[in-house]
Structure 1
Amino acid sequence: PPADEGCCPFRDATSRAPGVDPNGCPVSPQAASFDPFDSDYQLDPAEALRWSRDQEPVFYSPQLGYWVVSRYADVKAIFRDNQTFSPSIALEKITPVTQAAQDTLRRYGYAMNRTLVNEDEPAHMERRRALMKSFELEELAHHEPMVRRLTREYLDRLVDKGEADLVDEMLWEIPLTVALHFLGIPEEDMDTLREYSIAHTVNTWGRPSPEEQVAVAEAVGKFWQYAGRVLEKMRQDPSGHGWMKYAIRRQKELPEVVTDSYLHSMMMAGIVAAHETTAHATANMMRLLLENRVVWEDLCANPSLIPNAVEECLRLSGSVAAWRRIATTDTQIGGVAIPEGAKLLIVSASANHDGRHFENPDALDIYRDNTTDHLTFGYGSHQCMGKNLARLEMRIFLEEFTRRLPQMTLVPDQTFTFVP
């Protein structure tokens, strides 16, 4: 059919195109060679997809079996329409799981069910409303003194050392402690939880070998059982602060909305969601600002710029590169025909660098007036519930660092590593 019927914008490329995509169009050479496990995409997803934003904003990746969406308007439209684009695959494993790993999870009684991120309507909105109160700004304000106290304590330790690995010695543990406080979890098991949290991420988004899969499954299974034990402990006395305690109290009022399996899944998902994303976003922010000395000095001189600087860093270099959706019906994105059942990788990191929406998109501009339009927290009914907790932590980190260590610099010539 002609291009304007939503099929092939590059039918004439057939001669050199390896393979066709599910709507019958030839796959362009760039799309055929796209690999998100490749170092280019791992280091800088937005840069690795620049060609796509310019030439082919919606393409089928034979290597992944997903349609990749790279422009701001398209990504936002998909987030906005969670009926056509269901989030049900948001936590599906990118790498198929071996039987041995499945057996390991079964041995632990692992039954991670729907959590808010991969739940369809109408159940999703009911639960979200039932559990939203702890995330409101006035509730979050209770946590501010604790975040500041922790940040100052950790800074005290670092100041005298002269050199520190911020992630290892601070940014990993503070968001984890805050996450546990937020959920109302006792703080005894820091190191165990650290190991579990990483395992959970690699389990969902990574490309672990068969041996690694079994080790990861062990950690995830233990994490699952641990979450169950903590939940039981809380049930004995669900009074006081903490999102999980609040959820247990809500269960008494809404037993069919807030179910047992749901609480168990949310306990585990909550620890991971609140912890790792904030740790990595803060690490990216510190690196970005210290690499841009003039901006760092502006913030030291004028702390009122900090909230917008946090947003600009979230836009330029957030910790979540992409989300996933599945098409529930035949549809179109940006004029490209997408068949029912198609899996989508919507790359918010690329959308955040789209010059059609952000002027000079690759520049760090803390005076930018539309930086809060970024899609790092998603958009629409599934927007990140914890976004204001993350903002609070990042703002306090930056306030304390710029006040206390304005002279701080990055160690030169380091190699930065990423969770694959």
Structure 2
Amino acid sequence: MTETSAEPHRSQGAGKCPVSHIAAEFNPFADDYLQDPYAVFTRARAEEPVFFSPSLGYWVVSRHEDVRQVFQDPAFSASISITPLKELCPAAVDELVKAEMVMGPSLVNEDPPLHTKRRRLIQKAMISPARIEAVTPRIRALTTSYIDGFVRRGHADLVADFAWEIPALVAFALMGVPDEDVERAKEFAGRLALFTWGYPSEEEQRKLAAGMGQYWIYAKEHVKRRLEDPTDDYISNLIAAWRKPGNEDLFDENYLVTTMMNFLFAGHETTTNATANGLRALLEHRDQWAALCADPSLVPGAVEEILRFSSSVVAWRREATEDTHIGDVPIPAQAKVLVLTGSANHDEEVFPEPERFDITRTNADEHLAFGFGRHLCLGAPLARIEMGIFLEELTRRLPHMQLAEGQTFTYSPNTSFRGPDHLFVGWDPSQNPVPEDRP
């Protein structure tokens, strides 16, 4: 759910002086930006594709070519990717100390060569094609079950009743979280976006830090159980791979805990947001929804266009390790960089008519929704399968579904993860095409 967020403190600018209008006005926590960041993205690409934001203290990058460069160039480190955007206040630090929380490196915020070795091991142990294929029937069964729960009702919130639930259950089951812990674990994981990528007040930050401490304790206890009593879940598989000769020095128990925390968050947050964004886009573009309902073979292309058109991750962070350039703009060493992946996905130079939602777009898969290069999201294949199954089942059973009129969409105030808090829809259940779905 959306919480309030303080505006960032305006810091001393770096580099350009005077500051341009777009740089001075850039505020990813403002209401108009949260509602429609793409208007800002379009202006940035046209007026100043790389600019320094004095309020954030970050260089902001908006073009597809430049975003790809930052992801690929070893001069840009991933080290700050999951560092809290706002410096922790003393009360927040105290909460983390109480929990003995030690958030060290993880795949998300480390660089080669160690990243390369760890990624190879984790990918093989946890997210191989065979493991993804094995979980697909469970995704289908959960999707069917959740639609069963509201199909005769005639209305639903597709976030709370559907998109928030299934990816979480899948991710948590894969990590061995018992059913009775799922709600608690979801609550813990849900705080991570605001804690890391938001700009909360000190009191909000303290509360979020307390929740993060609880999340750390829970994940640490779960890893300890699996160290003592492994099963066939993903974290047990990773432990088994770690214990093989030659792998023991790759990481430690804290790394396992951090990996679990990140997987539980990323495994459901991004898919939840992408699904909600995509269903909103489809239902607002009735011709595209009708085409998809009529031809299920369009589902893979629809998934890619959703990821391009309304990304669940609209920005990510890097830090320059040396004096370098983005395009022709000089970037000093230690400069912080915010790459606008959502803007890159609407770049006119790559995607003709980028504001047109077209599920038959031939190059939609050139989007950067999952990042690019050495840090390409490991969970991308799982997210694509989940979204595809969701679309297949919803179009088959609820083709007459429509957005509820008069609803206002709200979004979590953070720089990176974007999806509506709610998505209310309605339909006439007497017109459900599957006879068993009618009241």
TM-score, normalised by the number of residues in structure 2:
0.89
Correspondence for 2:39 among 32, 47, 52:
47
Contact 1:19 1:27 in 2 (8 A): no
Contact 2:16 2:52 in 1 (8 A): no
1:117 aligns with 2:108: yes
Alpha-carbon deviation of 1:198? 1.8
Alpha-carbon deviation of 1:21? 4.5
Give the secondary structure class of the aligned counterpart of 1:49. helix
- 1:15 alignment partner in structure 2: none
Correspondence for 1:261 among 244, 254, 265:
254
Aligned counterparts of 1:417 and 1:36: Cα–Cα separation in 2: 14
1:379 aligns with 2:354: no
Alpha-carbon deviation of 1:19? 11
- 2:301 alignment partner in structure 1: 308
For structure 1, the 5+ residue unaligned runs are 1-17
Aligned counterparts of 1:244 and 1:207: Cα–Cα separation in 2: 32
Give 1:135-214 correspondences, 5 Å limit.
135-214=127-206
Q: Which amino acid aligns with 1:63?
A: S
Aligned counterparts of 1:268 and 1:372: Cα–Cα separation in 2: 28
Contact 1:101 1:213 in 2 (8 A): yes
> For each residue in 1:48-71, what CA deviation from the matched residue of structure 2 results, as whole angstroms up to 9, or x when unmatched?
121110111000000110000000
1:99 aligns with 2:90: yes
Alpha-carbon deviation of 1:84? 0.3
- 2:6 alignment partner in structure 1: none
Give the secondary structure class of the aligned counterpart of 1:306. helix
Contact 2:127 2:378 in 1 (8 A): yes
Aligned counterparts of 1:301 and 1:73: Cα–Cα separation in 2: 36
Correspondence for 1:404 among 397, 402, 424:
397
Aligned counterparts of 1:131 and 1:283: Cα–Cα separation in 2: 29
Identity of aligned residues (%): 46
Q: Which amino acid aligns with 1:231?
A: V
Aligned counterparts of 2:242 and 2:110: Cα–Cα separation in 1: 18
Shift in alpha-carbon separation, 1:400–1:60, aligned structure 2, 3 A: same
Give 1:319-338 correspondences, 5 Å limit.
319-338=312-331
Correspondence for 1:28 among 14, 20, 26:
20
Contact 1:72 1:357 in 2 (8 A): yes
Aligned counterparts of 1:23 and 1:220: Cα–Cα separation in 2: 35
- 2:425 alignment partner in structure 1: none
Aligned counterparts of 2:213 and 2:311: Cα–Cα separation in 1: 29
Correspondence for 1:77 among 58, 69, 80:
69
Give the secondary structure class of the aligned counterpart of 2:60. strand
> For each residue in 1:312-371, what CA deviation from the matched residue of structure 2 results, as whole angstroms up to 9, or x when unmatched?
000011111100000011111110111111100000000000001101111111111111
Give the secondary structure class of the aligned counterpart of 1:256. coil
Contact 2:11 2:55 in 1 (8 A): no
Q: Which amino acid aligns with 1:235?
A: L
Aligned counterparts of 1:367 and 1:173: Cα–Cα separation in 2: 29
Contact 2:79 2:111 in 1 (8 A): yes
Alpha-carbon deviation of 1:248? 0.6
Give the secondary structure class of the aligned counterpart of 1:300. helix
- 1:248 alignment partner in structure 2: 239
Q: Which amino acid aligns with 2:299?
A: I
> For each residue in 1:63-99, what CA deviation from the matched residue of structure 2 results, as whole angstroms up to 9, or x when unmatched?
1100000000000111111x20000000111122110
Contact 1:60 1:67 in 2 (8 A): yes
Shift in alpha-carbon separation, 1:237–1:24, aligned structure 2, 3 A: same
> For each residue in 1:182-215, what CA deviation from the matched residue of structure 2 results, as whole angstroms up to 9, or x when unmatched?
2233222122122211211110011211111111
TM-score, normalised by the number of residues in structure 1:
0.93
Q: Report which stretch shifted further, 193-202 or 313-322.
A: 193-202
- 2:356 alignment partner in structure 1: 363
Contact 1:19 1:26 in 2 (8 A): no
Aligned counterparts of 2:11 and 2:226: Cα–Cα separation in 1: 55
Contact 1:250 1:258 in 2 (8 A): no
Shift in alpha-carbon separation, 1:231–1:19, aligned structure 2, 3 A: closer
Alpha-carbon deviation of 1:160? 1.7
Contact 2:174 2:234 in 1 (8 A): yes
Aligned counterparts of 1:279 and 1:88: Cα–Cα separation in 2: 26
Contact 2:271 2:312 in 1 (8 A): yes
Alpha-carbon deviation of 1:250? 1.1
Alpha-carbon deviation of 1:25? 4.2
Contact 2:315 2:340 in 1 (8 A): yes
Aligned counterparts of 2:69 and 2:357: Cα–Cα separation in 1: 25
- 1:288 alignment partner in structure 2: 281
Coordinate RMSD, CA, aligned:
1.4
> For each residue in 1:228-265, what CA deviation from the matched residue of structure 2 results, as whole angstroms up to 9, or x when unmatched?
1111121223242x221111101111111132111011
